[in-house]
């Protein structure tokens, strides 16, 4: 990073506010300014190259130089740069994208509602669920259950779903009694001694059942879950978990909302995380890899039964009284549609299934490293959890910031990864990564782990 007075870094410090950043520390440290990209690689303003091991923020599925997406945006900008979807208006890209998403979605889904971000999609799902139960004459059925460690966004309502303390501290959250959290499905951290994965899944499903009964099933509207928890530490569900939870929800007339913002579009090896874990959602939210992150876009996909109820209620009220100026933006929709075409034509799903065994093999090998308590993942997503003692699973002190130390050393080795809660390091490369690049990723991560292990004090 250049410290010159008029450098990009200095101007950033002077004028830009950064999310999820210690703002005072940023004034001293400054930014890593990314100025270019090619394939799975990015480069900074001083010309150093990095393997982007987290696909930006879990989203740059096709890397950083896909010319077809640039061309799709250019064509649509020249043809018709903006129209909206309010009051019976539409556009060709919106119609084609909605149709394509429904065709790709789990069988339970029949309609698509477009917006701009994953947070917006989950926020919208909450509003629509409340609207839906008002329409059904069940005005008390408004409570929503999520999981601790979950990340579902950072807008005011979606922020209530997010079960991570750092996303709530100082923002007066929670400010509603409509949101509840149950145990994260981390068998490594939450499993009891001697408890099998199936037994753990049964216990967690029973916890959901007990909570619904204690609150009153007539007050509980929905359960929201990522198939694989992303920002909470890449928590992979134990055997039988979603089958058991879905049975509980069905018994109590509680909707299942699948947050596919990270999982969707082949990240777990299948089109959806729902496919990987046998989930039939009432509502599915998606974003990120929908446009390979080239432009902001998201969607709420819903079942026909859900749609019919809100459609009738919109007729009663005169309209569905919500929407977004840029929801279904034609340029973003055109880029998303082209992204889905690339996935099909380049057989992206087949590529992920071909290279993910090597990715998971290299990931699993890290479990032998002295700092790593668990290495976990599926498809092309994974994490390592760092511990002081591998046998007892004793964590490091939070103040030691071991995961940030590791990701800091990754930068020095030309690799971008992200520290996650619980001293985990998330790994989520672009879907186009090759086996050779997977080896480079894990070789650099191993070097970073060795660097940090060499300077940490030994456990007593």
Looking at 326, 345, 364, which one is the last position of a domain?
A: 345
- Which of 436, 439, 431, 437 is CA-nearest to residue 66? 431
Range 157-174 burial, b when 16+ CB lie within 10 A, else e: bbbbbbbbeebeeeeebe
* DSSP symbol at 438: H
| Residues 237 and 283 reside in one and the same domain | yes
| Residues 313 and 293 reside in one and the same domain | yes
For residue 114 the two structure tokens come to: 């477009």
| Residues 220 and 320 reside in one and the same domain | yes
Listed in sequence order, the DSSP H helices in 366-434 are 402-412
| Residues 380 and 294 reside in one and the same domain | no
| Residues 313 and 411 reside in one and the same domain | no
Collapsing DSSP states into helix, strand and coil, what is residue 415?
strand
Q: Is residue 295 part of a domain?
A: yes
Backbone phi and psi for residue 175, each to the nearest 5 degrees, phi listed first: -125, 20
Total domains present in the chain? 2
Q: Is residue 23 part of a domain?
A: no
Q: Is residue 24 part of a domain?
A: no
Q: Is residue 136 part of a domain?
A: yes
Q: What is the pLDDT of residue 2?
A: 58
Using CA atoms, how far apart are residues 119 and 130, in angstroms rounded to an integer? Answer: 17
Q: Write the DSSP string, 267-332.
A: TTSSS-HHHHTT---SEEEE-GGGTTTSS--EEEEE-HHHHHHHHHHHHHHSS-----TTTT-HHH
Q: Is residue 369 part of a domain?
A: yes
- 153 alpha carbon, distance to own chain's centre: 9
Looking at 298, 314, 345, which one is the last position of a domain?
A: 345
| Residues 75 and 61 reside in one and the same domain | no
| Residues 442 and 355 reside in one and the same domain | yes
| Residues 361 and 288 reside in one and the same domain | no
Q: Is residue 1 part of a domain?
A: no
| Residues 396 and 277 reside in one and the same domain | no
| Residues 261 and 168 reside in one and the same domain | yes
Q: Is residue 11 part of a domain?
A: no
Q: What is the pLDDT of residue 458?
A: 65
Domain that includes residue 258, residue range: 69-345
- Which of 97, 92, 88, 99 is CA-nearest to residue 75? 92
Q: Which segments within 16-174 are labelled E, that is strand?
A: 34-38, 41-44, 49-52, 111-115, 143-147
CA end-to-end distance (rounded Å), the chain: 38
Q: Is residue 438 part of a domain?
A: yes
Cis omega (within 30 of 0) on the bond before 174?
A: yes
| Residues 386 and 336 reside in one and the same domain | no
Q: What does the pLDDT profile of the chain (460 residues) look like in tens digits? A: 556 778 999 999 999 999 999 999 999 999 999 999 999 999 999 999 999 999 999 999 999 999 999 999 999 999 999 999 999 999 999 999 999 999 999 999 999 999 999 999 999 999 999 999 999 999 999 999 999 999 999 999 999 999 999 888 899 998 889 999 999 999 999 999 999 999 999 999 999 999 999 999 999 999 999 999 999 999 999 999 999 999 999 999 999 999 999 999 999 999 999 999 999 999 999 999 999 999 999 999 999 999 999 999 999 999 999 999 999 999 999 999 999 999 999 999 999 999 999 999 999 999 999 999 999 999 999 999 999 999 999 999 999 999 999 999 999 999 999 999 999 999 999 999 999 999 999 999 999 999 999 999 765 4
Q: What is the pLDDT of residue 216?
A: 98
For residue 200 the two structure tokens come to: 């753990």
Q: What is the pLDDT of residue 460?
A: 43
For residue 333 the two structure tokens come to: 């929709």
- Which of 458, 429, 452, 455 is CA-nearest to residue 362? 429
Indicate which CATH number applies to the domain containing 380: 3.90.1150.10
| Residues 178 and 271 reside in one and the same domain | yes
Looking at 330, 345, 360, which one is the last position of a domain?
A: 345
Indicate which CATH number applies to the domain containing 256: 3.40.640.10
pTM over 0.85: yes
């Amino acid at each position: 990073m250049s410290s010159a007075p008029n450098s990009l870094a200095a101007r950033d410090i002077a004028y830009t506010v950064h999310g999820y950043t210690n703002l005072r520390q940023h004034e001293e440290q400054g930014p890593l300014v990314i100025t270019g990209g090619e394939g799975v690689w990015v480069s900074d303003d001083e010309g150093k190259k990095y393997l982007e091991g987290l696909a930006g923020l879990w989203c740059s599925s096709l890397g950083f130089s896909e010319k077809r997406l640039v061309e799709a945006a250019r064509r649509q900008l020249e043809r018709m740069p903006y129209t909206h979807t309010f009051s019976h208006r539409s556009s060709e890209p919106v119609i084609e994208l909605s149709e394509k998403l429904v065709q790709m979605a789990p069988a339970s889904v029949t309609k698509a509602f477009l917006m701009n971000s994953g947070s917006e999609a989950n926020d919208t799902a909450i509003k629509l669920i409340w609207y839906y139960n008002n329409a059904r004459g069940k005005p008390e059925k408004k409570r929503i259950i999520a999981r601790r460690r979950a990340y579902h966004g950072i807008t005011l309502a979606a922020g209530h779903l997010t079960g991570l303390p750092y996303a709530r501290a100082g923002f007066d959250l929670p400010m509603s009694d409509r949101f509840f959290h149950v145990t994260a499905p981390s068998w490594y951290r939450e499993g009891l001694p001697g408890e099998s994965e199936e037994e753990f899944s049964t216990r967690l499903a029973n916890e959901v059942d007990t909570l619904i009964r204690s609150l009153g099933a007539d007050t509980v509207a929905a359960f929201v879950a990522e198939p694989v928890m992303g920002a909470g530490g890449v928590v992979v569900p134990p055997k039988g978990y979603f089958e058991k939870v879905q049975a509980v929800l069905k018994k109590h007339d509680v909707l299942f909302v699948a947050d596919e913002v990270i999982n969707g579009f082949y990240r777990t090896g299948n089109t959806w995380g729902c496919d990987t874990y046998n989930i039939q959602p009432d509502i599915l939210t998606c974003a990120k890899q929908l446009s390979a992150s080239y432009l902001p876009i998201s969607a709420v996909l819903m079942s026909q039964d859900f749609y019919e109820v809100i459609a009738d209620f919109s007729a009663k009220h005169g309209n569905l009284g919500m929407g977004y100026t840029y929801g279904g933006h034609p340029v973003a929709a055109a880029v998303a549609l082209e992204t889905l075409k690339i996935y099909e034509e380049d057989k992206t799903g087949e590529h992920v299934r071909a290279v993910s065994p090597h990715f998971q093999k290299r990931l699993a090998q890290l479990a032998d490293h002295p700092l790593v308590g668990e290495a976990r993942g599926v498809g092309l997503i994974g994490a390592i959890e760092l511990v002081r003692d591998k046998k007892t699973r004793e964590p490091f002190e939070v103040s030691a910031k071991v995961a940030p130390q590791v990701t800091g050393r990754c930068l020095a080795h030309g690799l971008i990864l992200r520290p996650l809660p619980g001293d985990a390091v998330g790994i989520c490369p672009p879907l186009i990564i090759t086996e050779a690049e997977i080896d480079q990723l894990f070789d650099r991560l191993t070097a970073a782990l060795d660097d940090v292990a060499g300077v940490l004090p030994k456990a007593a």
